[in-house]
Amino acid sequence: MVLLEGGLSLLALVATLVIGLILLVVLVKILLFIIIPGIMALVVWFLTHDPFLTGVTFLAVAVLTIIFKR
């Protein structure tokens, strides 16, 4: 029974590590996706200081990134 308990805890540790790595990869992909629209929105903000145009720019670039993604 001692081996069974140790095996289950090891299995839980491995499952937790795999889930953590998957979450980390997803987080990095999301951050990389947001960088380009964020930079474009920042440029529009510095040029116009208009929150509406900044938001429209962010959404437009994000949608175009999704459409033209390779």
According to the model, what pLDDT value does residue 1 have? Answer: 43
- Residue 4 vs residue 30, higher pLDDT: 30
Structure tokens at 59: 């959404």
Q: What is the mean pLDDT of the chain?
A: 88
Q: How many CB atoms lie within 10 A of CB 53?
A: 14
CB atoms within 10 A of CB 22: 10
Q: Is the pLDDT of residue 11 over 90?
A: no
